[in-house]
Each structure stands twice: as C-alpha cells, then as structure tokens.
Amino acid sequence: MIEKKSENLIFNGQQLFYSHQSSALNCEMTFSIFIPPQAKEKKCPVLYWLSGLTCTADNFTSKSGFQRYAAEHGIIVVAPDTSPRGESVKDIKDAWDIGCGAGFYLNATSEGWKDHYQMYDYVVKELPGIIKTNFPCNDKASVSGHSMGGHGALICALKNPQQYQSVSAFAPIVHPLDCPWGTKAFTTYLGDDQTQWSEWDAVELIKQGNKVDHILVEQGLADNFLEDQLKTDSLKTVCAENKLNLILNDREGYDHSYYFISSFIGEHIKWHAQFLN
C-alpha cells in the first residue's frame, strides 16, 4: 500500500511523492516519481535516481530540473530516499556520513544495522516491484546517481546487468574500499571482515568480471572530493583493462553540487533514452 503525499503538474507531466511501509527496510520510506505526459497513451521506461550523502527523495527532484528532459523523452523517473529513517532506525547523532541519510546502497550485516539498512534489496527488488504494480511502466529500466548514489547506481548495474539497460553517474564514489567515506561505511555496516567489502565496490566488481554494456560518468574537475574520496581514475583504469564501454566526461571548473548535476542531467537522460526507447 502506497500513500500519495503530493502531486504537481510540471512540463505536462506529474511530479508525485509517495510514502509506504518497506518490508526490506522495516520502516516507512518515501520516494518521488515523475510521470511523463506520454504515459497517458502508453507504458514508459523507468530511470531510477540514487542520491548522495545527506540527501532525501526531494533533493534531486526539486534541484536538478530533470523533469523537462524526462518529459521530452517519455521517461518515468523514480528517486527514493537514501536510507531508512524513523525513531526505531539506528543512527549516529551528528555523523552525517553514517546512519540516516547515508545508507550506501548495500545490505548491512553488522548487529544494530542489519535490521534496517538493506538499501540494496530495497532499490533492486522492493522498489521496482512497487513501481511496476502501481504505475504505467514497461519492462525497461536504467539507473543513475550522484556521489554515494553514483556508487549505488554502479554496483546495482554491475550486479544486475539484466535489469538495467544503462547506468550513469555524477561524481561517483567508484572505489569505496580505497577512500575514507567508504571504509567508514563498510566498517560500520559490514564489520571488519574485508572479504565482504568487495561485493559493494564498483572497481572490485569489475576486476571480478562483472560487466555492464553502457556506462556514462560525469566528473567535475573542481570537485573538492575528487582525489581523496571519488578516485574516478580507478574506474577509468579498470574499465580499460576489462574492456568495458565507459564514457567519462571530465568537466573543467565544475564542483560536486547540484549546479553541476543540473548542467548535464539533460545529456544523461538523452543518453539513457537511446537504450530505454
């Protein structure tokens, strides 16, 4: 059962927010969904958007301006929250990079976290089931995201190449085993046994033979997190070594913000459209 929270007309499509009780996360969750005008006449493909650290379902929806392009290309766009939330959900007060707002799109195994932090199962299994049941979508889907959500998009696609036609990312965390954000999250959610970590790391998954046909990455060269946290060159290297079709656009002067995302989201939706339509 899903409950509509709001609805607005934009570019002749519907921008809606819903809440529902998640069985995967054991809490109430919120997602936004844009229904393009073409959905009045036919079923449309879906692009799932995964947001970054501290974000909710609202950030991308209200800041990126994606609706203009999704309406043009006839694509449903779904943006879930970034983590479980609520009084019963474990959190660390004043830690913005762990807990609520920082689910990292994995399935936690650590005590205290595993009861709620199953974001991978939510994004890959539960949420698509809800969308297919309740909205006019066809069987084609792609996935995109930003920062932590770029990490999520990459691992979801690499682990489920049959489920997504294409994957793109803005400033993704590509090698969380080798960056402070990732090692903190993995230690917290997965424990100290690093043999578990590689299945949630895009670079490691590609090394292990996981493949996806179409990858597009956008990276601002003025991004303060590029060298220490994002390590985009690691993805470039491993894709070249394993002959994966990566398009990497380095953008001079752009940072990590939604100004960056809004500048190129139209190009990403157009790129996904060639595989979805």
Q: pLDDT tens across 25-36, in order? A: 999 999 999 999
| Known catalytic residue at 256 | yes
Out of 151, 175, 256, 268, the active site residue is 256
β-bridge mates for residue 78, sequence order: 33, 48
pLDDT, position 103: 98
Residues in contact with 181: Cβ distance below 8 Å, sequence separation at least 6, in sequence order: 53, 97, 148, 173, 229
Instruction: Kindly state the average pLDDT of the residues 241-250.
Output: 98
Q: How confident is the model at residue 95 (pLDDT cuts 50, 70, 90)?
A: very high
pLDDT, position 74: 98
Q: How confident is the model at residue 271 (pLDDT cuts 50, 70, 90)?
A: very high
Q: pTM here? A: 0.98
Alpha-carbon 48 to chain mean position: 7
Find tokens 């006449």 and name the residue. Answer: 41
Cα–Cα distance between 42 and 38 in angstroms, integer? 6
Out of 147, 166, 168, 234, the active site residue is 147
pLDDT, position 204: 98
Out of 223, 234, 268, 272, the active site residue is 223
Q: How confident is the model at residue 224 (pLDDT cuts 50, 70, 90)?
A: very high
Cα–Cα distance between 144 and 69 in angstroms, integer? 15
| Known catalytic residue at 214 | no
Q: How confident is the model at residue 155 (pLDDT cuts 50, 70, 90)?
A: very high
Query: Is 106:200 a contact under the CB 8 Å cutoff?
Result: yes
Residue pLDDT, tens place only, 100-141: 999 999 999 999 999 999 999 999 999 999 999 999 999 999
